[in-house]
Amino acid sequence: MFGWTGVFLNVDLTRNKVVAESYDTTLALNFMGGRGFAAKILWDRLTPGIDPLSVENNLIFAAGPLTGFGLPNSGKLVVAAKSPLTGGYGDGNMGTQAAIQMRKAGYDAVIIEGKSETPVVLHIRDTVAEFIDAKDLWGLNSFETEAQLKSLYERTAGIVSIGPAGENLVKFATVVSQEGRAGGRPGMGAVMGSKNLKAVVFEGYNEIPAAYPKSMKELSAAGYREVMTKPNYAFWKRQGTISTVEWSQENSALPTCNFREGVFDKADKIGGFAMEKIKVGNRGCPQCNMTCGNVVKGSDRKESEIDYENIVMLGSNIGLGNLKQIAALNRFADELGLDTISLGNVLGFAMETSEKKRVPEKIQWGKFQETKALIEDIAYRRGFGDVLAEGVRSAAAKIGHGSEDWAMHVKGLEISAYDCHAAPAMALSYATSSVGAHHKDAWVISWEVQFGRKGYREEKINKVIEMQRLRGGVFESLTVCRFPYAELGFELEWYTKYLHAATGRELPFNTLIYTADKILNLIRAFWIREYASNWAKDMDVPPMRWFTQPLTEGPLKGAMLDPLKYDAMLNKYYRKRGWDERGIPKKSTLKKLGLSDVTKELGNYVKLND
């Protein structure tokens, strides 16, 4: 097989055993890699209903057929498991040297099951895997952990680790790499912690088999050159994702005070131009010349790599308008291994709940020191922090007193940094994303703003589906960064050329889209199998706040979503997807996608329609 290594590494932490397992071309072509492999493995191997933090869960690191070849933006890795936050399928995508090293070691995926008796580091060097005692590392933050491990291995080693949040099973703990790359929003760090796995070190010294190595090199060099010719390249290097702060403010989409408003009076102090004034450098994922991680020094004088999402969620959404303080909170979250998006939601929720006097704790908007202390309480599960460590869905259920009305999540995953009071298509995107409320699959809001945000017309549904196919399907299964395409207009044809050089196969775009639909439906089946009789259409509905509490400030004052129109839009989305009125794939849809085996299994949990 070319392109793929054709091998998964099974790691059993209970028995300290590893077994390399070859898989065939059919699996590769059917599921491609990354998210596709993760979904297939979790569907096949997990017993429905297991506790995500039990030994039975699998933690998966999966790459795609382009990972590690030196192609632009191909240093990405999917980390996946059954999510302890949502109870459904969970994954994330992080840029890390570990992606490249895993492939060079000879594996397309590493599947970790069981639980080590004591804290452990897994070291994989080509065909040799060892389990190293990690008692001395347990308790260290993710930066300290990586620094210690770095001193022990080759400079090229790829390391992923968890911080105290993962160890303490905070439900939105992430896996961290390279001081500021974080992946697995729906609690992949907690799954790693539940296995007593502090870190994985990957070292690989083999060539990844390419069908046409020479054209691979040429295409790679040409790709890097092409990226640099794109008109927005220079500005992207200056501001990366952060220019979106100004855009969101102009368009009333900037989450402010727990998504109550879409404008923030200190937006100019936390946007791209404010960031440029304190910027000290660029960092990025390996194999990338777009390096979009903007490094600034926070109020703690430590370096922090910031993006749009973490600025907004730890800034305007909690009423904090000081960029250096936001950077310090972001660095703190990276060290602890907490997802900044969920964290910003949880903090905003706590502030609003306190303001409304539904809890005795006094937590005020925009107070840096108090917020930092609360973040620490969350990571170490102290006091009220322990309640918040479960995520907003669970916290609201526990607190009650109507607090569900301002718990901003879909399916238990907290909302990313775009307010949708006046963005029905983006609301649909959050509501139907494969992991819960994440913008990664269909970031449709900029298109929606450009082409008319009012209305629920069919074109919007089509756009959501198109983006889910491309971003959530193609990019997550090839496991390459989507930013060259999404932000600079790097043409999609490049990827079919890369795929041909890597695999020796003509894999036209419509094949990739078909695979994307297959993966999305398999993930959908995973969710439905887990929720079984509790599965309901309202799981595909965004938070009530956007339907019931209009914006009270800014040019879109008064705006909110219309529940009846949203419902009609969702019904149409279901029909276009080949799902029934409950949002469950029909037998005919699964068959068309080559998922007939799924029909049989899923039919044991819910009644399927033809």
> To the nearest 10°, the Cα dihedral for 165, 168, 169, 171?
-50
Give CA separation, 540 vs 305, 357, 411, 440, 523, in Å.
Answer: 33, 30, 8, 16, 14
User: Does residue 339 bind ligand PTT (CB under 6 A)?
Assistant: yes
Write down the least CB distance from residue 187 to ligand PTT, Å: 10
For ligand SF4, the closer of residues 205 and 235 by Cβ is 235
> To the nearest 10°, the Cα dihedral for 480, 485, 490, 492?
70
For ligand SF4, the closer of residues 72 and 412 by Cβ is 72
Q: Which does 260 bind (CB under 5 to 8 A by kind): ligand PTT, ligand SF4, none?
A: none
Contact 119, 137 (CB under 8 A): yes
Write down the least CB distance from residue 76 to ligand PTT, Å: 6
Q: Which does 310 bind (CB under 5 to 8 A by kind): ligand PTT, ligand SF4, none?
A: ligand PTT
Question: What is the pattern of x (binds ligand PTT, CB under 6 A) and - over residues 114-153?
Answer: ----------------------------------------
Tokens standing for residue 163: 């911080």
Q: E strands of 342-395, at which residues?
A: none
User: Does residue 308 bind ligand PTT (CB under 6 A)?
Assistant: yes
What residues from 280 to 299 belong to the interface with ligand PTT (CB under 6 A)?
Answer: 285
User: Does residue 291 bind ligand SF4 (CB under 6 A)?
Assistant: yes
User: Does residue 487 bind ligand PTT (CB under 6 A)?
Assistant: no
Q: What are phi and psi of 65, to 5 degrees?
A: -70, -10
What residues from 469 to 488 belong to the interface with ligand SF4 (CB under 6 A)?
Answer: 481, 483
Q: What is the DSSP letter of 210?
A: -
Q: Which does 290 bind (CB under 5 to 8 A by kind): ligand SF4, ligand PTT, none?
A: ligand SF4
Residue 329's contacts (CB-CB under 8 Å, 6 or more residues apart) are: 298, 314, 320, 368, 371, 372, 375
Strand partners of residue 94: 77
For ligand PTT, the closer of residues 310 and 432 by Cβ is 310
Calculate helix-pair angle for 323-336, 368-379, nearest 10 degrees.
10
Write down the least CB distance from residue 197 to ligand SF4, Å: 25
Tell me the number of residues near ligand SF4 by CB under 6 A: 11
Q: Return the amino acid letter for 21.
A: E
Write down the least CB distance from residue 213 to ligand SF4, Å: 23
Among 170, 288, 338, 389, binds ligand SF4 (CB under 6 A): 288
Write down the least CB distance from residue 489 to ligand PTT, Å: 15
Residue 393's contacts (CB-CB under 8 Å, 6 or more residues apart) are: 407, 409, 412
Among 68, 90, 95, 119, binds ligand SF4 (CB under 6 A): 95
Nearest to 534 by CA among 395, 378, 412, 366: 412
d(CA 574, CA 37): 25
Write down the least CB distance from residue 288 to ligand SF4, Å: 3
What residues from 426 to 445 belong to the interface with ligand PTT (CB under 6 A)?
Answer: 440
For ligand SF4, the closer of residues 75 and 542 by Cβ is 75
Write down the least CB distance from residue 289 to ligand SF4, Å: 8
Tell me the number of residues near ligand PTT by CB under 6 A: 31
Q: Which does 288 bind (CB under 5 to 8 A by kind): ligand SF4, ligand PTT, none?
A: ligand SF4
d(CA 83, CA 52): 6
The burial of 299, by beta-carbon neighbours within 10 Å (0-12 exposed, 13-18 middle, 19 or more buried), is given as middle
Which range, of 39-47, 253-261, 303-311, 530-538, touches ligand PTT by CB under 6 A? Answer: 303-311
Q: Which does 291 bind (CB under 5 to 8 A by kind): ligand SF4, ligand PTT, none?
A: ligand SF4
Residue 285's contacts (CB-CB under 8 Å, 6 or more residues apart) are: 73, 75, 76, 94, 95, 96, 178, 181, 481
For ligand PTT, the closer of residues 249 and 310 by Cβ is 310
Instruction: Give residue number: closest CB to ligand SF4.
Output: 284
d(CA 3, CA 505): 9
CA 394 distance to own-chain centroid: 20
For ligand SF4, the closer of residues 67 and 251 by Cβ is 67
Contact 171, 391 (CB under 8 A): yes
Q: What are phi and psi of 537, to 5 degrees?
A: -60, -30
Q: What is the DSSP letter of 473?
A: I
Q: What is the DSSP letter of 481?
A: -
Write down the least CB distance from residue 552 to ligand SF4, Å: 35
Q: Which does 182 bind (CB under 5 to 8 A by kind): ligand PTT, ligand SF4, none?
A: ligand PTT
d(CA 585, CA 602): 10
Contacts to ligand SF4 by CB under 6 A: 73, 95, 284-285, 288, 290-293, 481, 483
